[in-house]
Structure 1
Amino acid sequence: MRHTERMGSALTTIGLPVALGIIMFGLGLSLTPRDFARVAKHPKAVIIALICQLLVLPALCFGLVLLFQLPPVLAVGMLLLAASPGGTTANLYSHLFRGDVALNISLTAINSVLAVFTLPLITNLAIAYFLPGDESLGLQAAKVVEVFAIVLGPVALGMLVRWWRPAFADRMDRPVRIASVVILVVVIAGAIVSNLELLLENAGRLAGITVVFCVLSLTIGYLVPRMLRVDRPQSIASSFEIGIHNATLAIVIAQTVIGSVEMSLPAGVYGVLMFFVALAFGFLIRGRAATGDVHAPDGSERDEARRASAPDAAEAAPPER
């Protein structure tokens, strides 16, 4: 494989960061400081999600890589994906399936800070194991600032717009959400098409592992909090945050920091397939909400399920909203 090949495409260097920025700005339009304050009162869900994200998933991904016997460069690419923080698309899916979107945003922010340390560490360990003697990933200061700016800056700007012009923020919320998803799909598709030949050579061996990894991540993100008595909306948020990784960030790091197009292929395949896997998973857990959950013998979970399936469930937020 042409391990150090770079793709000098504007889709990666400009399009992907811009797409992420638009998505995060749109999500910021729907948030207020009270959302974060409310999450801070319930740190249990945050701690559980972070443990799953930072410890369980890399170990799970390492086992899958060995099981599927991926070539070394693709194996490192999978672990780079696993080490990436939750994808911004997770917030949209959480919104669609009645999750705690404020928890998603908080987890994205926390994970993005922690990823400055954990992402290079996990990727360096993967390179040392699968590609001994190869150069390690180094996240330079400029790249750290860029990641912070892409993830956190637009959210803060969106929240400022909501505070300054709440009526405008309400009108723009839905159009920005739709536009951001369309832009993200177009940009990822363009990045894949730019390396279509390379992708087709490896799509067969990557489709299976990326789908399995996505399904297991979503399941762990939902069931572990539920087993530890975390509320359903927060469990849904945790599921999508853990199950939908920031594939665009993984692609940018692989291609522009490490300089390997091949290493970005797992994130590219995952970035397409996870839309469908996450959608199917969302309908599955919504179906469970409609029929009740086994975790509440006292019937409280069934009451919660009826509220979630009611037509006005979207308006069932706490009074301070």
Structure 2
Amino acid sequence: MTTAEIISKIFLPLSLAIIMFGMGMTLIPADFKRVVKYPKAVLIGLSNQLIFLPIIGFLLAIAFNLNPTMAVGLMILATCPGGPTSNLITQVCKGNIALSVTLTAISSIVSILTIPFILSYALAYFGSETNITIQLPILDTILQIMVITVIPISLGMIIRKHKTNFAKRMEKPMRLASTIIFIIVFIAVLAANYNMIGTGMKEVGLVALCLNIFTMTLGFLTAKLFKLDLKNAISITIESGIQNGTLAFVIATTILNNVEMGLPIGVYSIWMFITGGILMWKLGKRKELGSE
């Protein structure tokens, strides 16, 4: 097993599961009830993630005149849902964690249907092989959501319910641990992809950065347009720009059997860690208010 595989298949999922457990200790069932009761934020977040993100990726691939391989690689990324990393960043940024988790879970399940449709069109449009049948690992995707997100958060919520004082004391230490693990994971991603950073940045660095910034900006503007509060706006902004890079790599290298298509995904992963880190640094310092 290569270093990159150890990081992506063992270290990263384990780290995120631990963070999700700590995140669960900050949540109560009422947090999710509010999301269901006021679904506007969920609908806005899902629209950005499932509709506008692929459209922006498609337009950028055309505007930058990417070659077919790079264009399809960018589209793979643009069709993928948010991942547990977005939940981690939302926690440190003091956004609406319940909304972030809900968006990640729903978009991950819905994208099982949308990814094959969008990618089939992208493969045909950009002139790549069109005789490939795209079938996502449905059970693996659902299992990933359960093991990394749902189960650890549920365990954390159980502790919050029965050991409330302990859970409240752990909020600040877990937020600090989230930041530290985020930095370690970012360094690990750089180390695992060091051999392609130069080539990737040269070929698709600018377009990947544009995709990240445009989608995050769109997330924030749409949240504000529909008069959502700051915590919800933060969650939607992050969910719009932080993608499930692991799933994208699986699609590129395993399903489409094209390692080169992973270049935009690797470059985007680096950018999203940088922009996510900046948001954590800026927003994580602010004082939380009862109502923002």
Matches within 5 A, 1:128-207: 128-130=124-126, 131-133=128-130, 135-149=132-146, 150-187=148-185, 189-207=187-205
Alpha carbons of structure 1 residues 282 and 68: separation in structure 2 relative to 1, 3 Å: farther
Matches of 2:47 and 2:79 in 1, distance apart?
12
Contact 1:61 1:82 in 2 (8 A): yes
Contact 1:20 1:184 in 2 (8 A): no
**Partner of residue 262, structure 2:** 264
Contact 2:93 2:279 in 1 (8 A): no
**Partner of residue 231, structure 2:** 233
Do residues 251 (structure 1) and 225 (structure 2) align?
A: no
Matches of 2:193 and 2:259 in 1, distance apart?
8
SS at match of 1:152: helix
- Please state how far the C-alpha of 1:163 moved relative to its aligned partner: 2.3
Matches of 1:178 and 1:254 in 2, distance apart?
34
Unpaired runs of 5+ residues, structure 1, are: 1-5, 287-308
Alpha carbons of structure 1 residues 175 and 260: separation in structure 2 relative to 1, 3 Å: farther
Contact 1:198 1:262 in 2 (8 A): no
Contact 1:16 1:248 in 2 (8 A): no
1:190-228 per-residue CA deviation (whole Å, 9 max, x = no partner) reads 355344333322221222111111111111101112122
1:13-66 per-residue CA deviation (whole Å, 9 max, x = no partner) reads 323322332332232221111101112221112112211211111011100011
Matches within 5 A, 1:203-222: 203-222=201-220
Higher Cα Rg, which structure: 1
Matches of 1:216 and 1:174 in 2, distance apart?
31
Q: Which amino acid aligns with 2:195?
A: E
Matches of 1:226 and 1:134 in 2, distance apart?
43
Do residues 104 (structure 1) and 78 (structure 2) align?
A: no
1:100-126 per-residue CA deviation (whole Å, 9 max, x = no partner) reads 222112212211221222233323332
Which of residues 74, 79, 85 is equivalent to 1:89?
A: 85
Alpha carbons of structure 1 residues 102 and 136: separation in structure 2 relative to 1, 3 Å: same
Matches of 1:275 and 1:8 in 2, distance apart?
17
Q: Which amino acid aligns with 1:316?
A: G
Contact 2:120 2:130 in 1 (8 A): no
**Partner of residue 116, structure 2:** 120
**Partner of residue 314, structure 1:** 288
**Partner of residue 221, structure 2:** 223
Alpha carbons of structure 1 residues 72 and 179: separation in structure 2 relative to 1, 3 Å: farther
**Partner of residue 306, structure 1:** none
**Number of equivalences:** 288
Matches of 2:215 and 2:184 in 1, distance apart?
25
Q: Which amino acid aligns with 2:224?
A: R
Contact 1:99 1:236 in 2 (8 A): yes
SS at match of 2:243: coil
Task: State the identity %.
Answer: 35
Runs of 4+ residues over 6 Å off in structure 1:
none
1:113-171 per-residue CA deviation (whole Å, 9 max, x = no partner) reads 21222233323332333312352432134423333323323222222232233333334
Matches of 2:124 and 2:47 in 1, distance apart?
24
**Partner of residue 293, structure 1:** none
